Structure 1
Amino acid sequence: MNLNISGHHVEVTPPLREYVLAKLKRVERHFDHLISAEVILTVDKLQQKAEATVHASGANLHAEAVNGDMYAAIDLLMDKLDQQTRKHKEKLRNHHHKDAIKRMTLQ
């Protein structure tokens, strides 16, 4: 997976980069067809914002989170991305809906 981590008004330090990588591994565990991810860390006054766009096979997932602490914002962001990837994976797995539509058209 290609990963781009950038910071606006904040320096992306090696510990911060490692923290994002560790949290992204959790998202990859649930859905391994991730193509690329772009994470942007921003500081505006007292608000720390983390946003990410993940390109997966069949979908582009975007999430953002704002908190007073950058690490907490990253945690919230990854929770949202994890939920989106699980939902996307379930949509890919769920073929029952297509079968029901086929049966209705055949009758």
Structure 2
Amino acid sequence: MNLTISGHHLEVTPALREYVLTKLDRVTRHFDQVVDINVLLSVEKLKEKERRQKAEVTLHVKGKDIFVENSHEDLYAAIDQLMDKLDRQVCRHKDRINDHHHVAPKRMDATTS
């Protein structure tokens, strides 16, 4: 698994990096077939008083790319909400992969007899 954590108008401190890694453990625990993860943390300065912290994740799994973004006044809160969204999308993707919506041939013969 390739992991890239980068910052835009922001220095990614070791504390931020560690926080993102601990939050990503929850996602990789649910779904271990992750190929690539790109995390982008940024600060948007809209006005002097109003600063928006933005976190984005692009998760590349086999056959699909999952993109999630979230903005908040606090960067740690933005990361928390982002990981909640990402966790829901990963679980939904995993359910779609595992649920094939068909009956096995051996069960089909038993029901028609």
TM-score, normalised relative to structure 2: 0.84
Q: Residue 7 of structure 1 corresponds to which residue in structure 2?
A: 7
RMSD of aligned alpha carbons: 1.4
Structure with greater helix share of residues:
1
Unaligned runs of 5+ in 2: 46-50, 109-113
- Aligned: 1:53 with 2:58: yes
Shift of 1:58: 2.1
Distance in 2 (alpha carbons) for counterparts of 1:56 and 1:84: 12
TM-score, normalised relative to structure 1: 0.89
Question: Which amino acid is 1:15 matched to?
Answer: A
Q: Residue 25 of structure 2 corresponds to which residue in structure 1?
A: 25
Q: How many residues align?
A: 100
Shift of 1:99: 3.8
Q: For the pair shown, which has the larger CA radius of gyration, 1 or 2?
A: 2
- Give the share of equivalent positions with the same residue, in percent: 56
Distance in 2 (alpha carbons) for counterparts of 1:3 and 1:59: 17
Deviations 1:27-62 (A, max 9, x none): 001000001100000101100000000001121100
